[in-house]
Chains A and B, each alone.
Chain A
């Protein structure tokens, strides 16, 4: 079963731990992500969701465990993964077109960069049209609004056709209206390109609205190791299930079902009082798996 998952998954994490000194941040993470999913990751602040994203990105490394992208071990950051940060994603000294062109240009050998210029420019303009920024291609990042900047950053990643696009609170600095537009926009892009997203956010509503699958990381749980102070325990995936993806319009956010789902996730992951036992986690997603260590969960 695990072998099969390992083969078909675009992102595969097995027994991944991350420790800073004595502090365990991520505690035995098992995760398999199929191509074309929008995985949204939520959790209380300090639960390690950004750490998890950075490890997938190759900006940090796990203390132990296996991490594969498309079957290959995760190394330093490279073009198999795209990244959109909340800010600093764009190069301030380049205009919009050159920002999008940076990736394709740098991927070519130095002396071929000039030769393919027209072809690359056409491709970049194609993606800029996709993110509705074609008419702004000569502007510099400082001349754009926050939402436009994030769209450039998305185009910048898209053009590289990475296996997976990582997003670290990409809409966190936007005003609510722009934020909602960007969510709808991202879903439209996804409908068209069906790329895989790993989307970290602290906004539950955003996570439930955008994702095809939600991961809740949390340090608020218990297991058979007991509750003593000396037990080095870090965040685990306490909740992992598919999200309904019907015809998406933002009106879905107002429905009863949507609100209940959010309430349930909030309880499972964000309530320090609610200490769910590891054996009761809702890991109902079809790709979800868990290899338990005996001291954590004896099964009775």
Chain B
């Protein structure tokens, strides 16, 4: 029998262990390049700030995470994380719930669709960052403006995605429900809604990227805490030893949330993956 290539070509079929090795290679390369570059810079200037050594980053993050801030009495990293997660949670959560109901009604009710779909399209094309100043003017520089920005940035996308998902549900399903004695309300909320829940979770996963973008942008401009705020604050002192761990921390949170949402779909909505 012809042997399939391990790595190269259209028919490559790497073994399980090789898959792991392949996945890790780019990370190792990145780390090595960084370490070498950092070492070179430190040789000529031991107090280099651009590419801090691992030990410097460790000291900085240790201080941020486990030492009380002398002035505020808070643990800076956890405080920043809590602020950011609260904003993104409320903003994206509200967008998910509103997007679900709007998309559902747009998809099922032709009248509502004709009334609101063009408007939704219009809203979805506005670059949210372009109206960030309006947010600050309208809602002040406190939490509300940031939450609204995240909401406006993700809500139209989720709505349109749910709308398209509902559109794709065969008409037969609706007629069938009616022949089973369902009221229009039951069709919408007991038959169609449960069918689009897994898609909503997927859409939220995809919207996490934009949500972080809007969060950090709004925190950068006006805030007193938050991961984005901190990164932009310490930038003034070229504190790469704080910025890099913070970015890694954001990536870690993102991956964890994404993994959690994916697990929910895998365990609760098995049919969705097979369908």
Contact = CB atoms under 8 A, between A and B. Distances in A.
Given A106-B190, A140-B271, A89 B176 contact: yes
B271 A92 contact: yes
A74 to B, nearest CB: 13
B275 A103 contact: no
Interface in A43-98: 57-59, 76-79, 81-83, 85, 87-89, 91-93
A103 B172 contact: no
Given A85-B172, A88-B173, A91-B191, A142 B271 contact: yes
Given A83-B176, A140-B270, A107 B275 contact: no
A79 B179 contact: yes
Contacts of A83: 172, 175-176, 179
A78 B180 CA distance: 7
Contacts of B74: none
Contacts of B270: 140
Given A92-B195, A93-B195, A57 B180 contact: no
A160 to B, nearest CB: 6
Given A92-B275, A142-B275, A85 B176 contact: yes
Interface in A228-284: none
Chain B contact residues: over half helix, strand or loop, or mixed? helix
Contacts of B180: 79, 102-103, 106-107, 156, 160
A88 B190 contact: no
A141 interface: yes
Contacts of A103: 180-181
Interface in B153-205: 170-173, 175-183, 186, 190-191, 194-195
Of B177, B179, B191, B271, the most chain A CB neighbours within 10 A belong to B179
Category for how many chain A residues contact B = 20 to 34
Interface residues of B, number: 24
Contacts of B170: 88
Of B183, B271, B272, B275, the most chain A CB neighbours within 10 A belong to B271
A79 B181 contact: yes
A114 to B, nearest CB: 14
Nearest to A166: B179
Contact of A78 (B179, B272, B274): B179
A162 interface: yes
A87 to B, nearest CB: 8
B75 interface: no
Contacts of B171: 59
B232 interface: no
Given A78-B179, A79-B181, A88 B172 contact: yes
A102 B174 CA distance: 13
Given A78-B181, A92-B271, A59 B186 contact: no
Given A92-B271, A93-B195, A82 B179 contact: yes
B194 to A, nearest CB: 5
A77 B184 CA distance: 11
B269 interface: yes
B271 A102 contact: no
Interface string B258-275: 000000000001111011
A53 to B, nearest CB: 11
Contacts of B182: 102, 106
Contacts of B172: 83, 85, 87-89
A40 interface: no
Nearest to A78: B178
A150 interface: no
B6 to A, nearest CB: 34
B71 to A, nearest CB: 53
B179 A77 contact: yes
B177 to A, nearest CB: 7
A76 B269 CA distance: 32
Interface string A135-167: 000001111000000000000110010100000
A114 B92 CA distance: 34
Interface in B236-272: 269-272
Interface of B: 170-173, 175-183, 186, 190-191, 194-195, 269-272, 274-275
Given A93-B269, A93-B271, A140-B274, 5 more contacts: A58-B175, A59-B171, A89-B176, A106-B180, A106-B181
Interchain residue pairs A-B with the least CB separation, the first 7: A103-B180, A107-B181, A77-B178, A88-B172, A88-B170, A79-B181, A142-B274
5 contacts: A79-B180, A91-B195, A93-B269, A103-B181, A160-B180
